[in-house]
Chains A and B, each alone.
Chain A
């Protein structure tokens, strides 16, 4: 039986959840609301995160352009995404929301600029 202890972040209470798997059934204990149960199961089955980071930029007034994935990426792909973003260099001007990497790792998620940066 799989078992995992996680802290719920749905609200500031921070319940300590225990999520266990019995055959194909997930069971959450320690939660104090329904949302905690949903969160616990999601964290156990398919945890995802938005990745905010930077890419290199030429001719901008800063050397780095902040970017983010425009959707949540499966947790185990975070470092693979970072590796791709580490090799990207863009050129100013860039507008907030511009797609910097289209369909990263072919998971249907784009990397977009989170800042407008003019050419210097």
Chain B
């Protein structure tokens, strides 16, 4: 049995930031486990720039952002194991893991940090009718093939879904000489960041077809065409609007799902909305000493906030092993009301709050000139005017801890109030 203070599962941006922060807060023996051949996670294939504007106040590429944390981890002599798969976790914080060098390992940890990230929804998840030829990729898979392995995935490409990875890949394919015919989006708005729509589609005159979806894939060995159809208000395809696009490749950028198989193996409670663990103010799950951070909790749009959230998880885990996390009875619950799909954290134990607490949330729709209204025990404590809100852009509200502590608060809720209501 190997013994560690903290075991971090996942060596992407979340795991790296959590491990570093735990070490800074006096945790001694820390182990980061990753199944890939290098640290850095998905950032290593995100070669585009735009990372780090909030954390470093400069525009870095994914590998550059990752490298800063990898360097820090190594300078701090934090142990890590690559090409290693964690098989399961038990309630008393024992892990089993396996790799080809050490074989099967049993590891005992005083605290565990879940940082496994998320994975892409596939063709199967959205059930597109048609044949099953080669040439249908998730956008992230195509990104890995092109940016790391050096394989071009296609020459004439249709992209379904306008999430950020789909948009980024539209530009990437164009730069490498492919023709991107269109990006089809089921919703009436893009789930991607505005800057990506402008710099990845508009710059190269790639049409964004809102309220459209792929209704058929054709081709025997390789994709030969796809059919794109307009959808109505209920997202049902409108007959007669079908248009066939001759192409050899279809990329899917249709959403990300937190990867929680390990969390399930130890019966961590998951939120049905985020598909990630229910967490408290310290990023601790419903099982004591098991923490979670980053995309495994809820899918972020900016890595900067993954870093911040994970630093909190790392610091909290270090506090936990020093018995400094209090299991107070003063518990505040957060509620996502009108227009808000979820809030992280779900539960707040007020004794563990520092100066202030960030509530992270997503809105359900696109809103112009609306307000985020925060209520404590039903009374308004904060109103934030917003010119623009969209589901693709996470909202953060900072609440001073004094608010929780002074007034014997039991619940905090956030709702959207449109102008004039």
Contacts and interface: CB of A to CB of B under 8 A. Distances in A.
A114 B61 contact: yes
Given A13-B387, A62-B148, A75-B203, A7 B67 contact: no
Contacts of A51: 175
Given A13-B388, A52-B47, A115 B147 contact: no
Contacts of B175: 51, 53, 78-79, 82
B199 A68 contact: no
Given A32-B387, A62-B148, A68-B61, A9 B195 contact: yes
Contact of B64 (A53, A56, A114): A114
Interface string A5-31: 011010011100000000000000000
A68 B58 CA distance: 14
Given A52-B47, A52-B61, A82-B175, A7 B194 contact: yes
Contacts, number: 76
Interface residues of B, number: 32
Interface string B144-160: 00111110000000000
Interface residues of A, number: 28
Interface in B24-72: 37-38, 44, 47-49, 59-64, 67
Contacts of A53: 47, 175-176
Contacts of B60: 114
A56 to B, nearest CB: 7
Nearest to B44: A115
A49 interface: yes
Nearest to A95: B67
Contacts of B38: 61
6 contacts: A9-B194, A12-B194, A61-B37, A62-B150, A114-B61, A116-B67
Q: Identify the 6 closest CB pairs spanning chains A and B, nearest first.
A: A63-B150, A66-B47, A115-B63, A14-B194, A9-B195, A13-B388
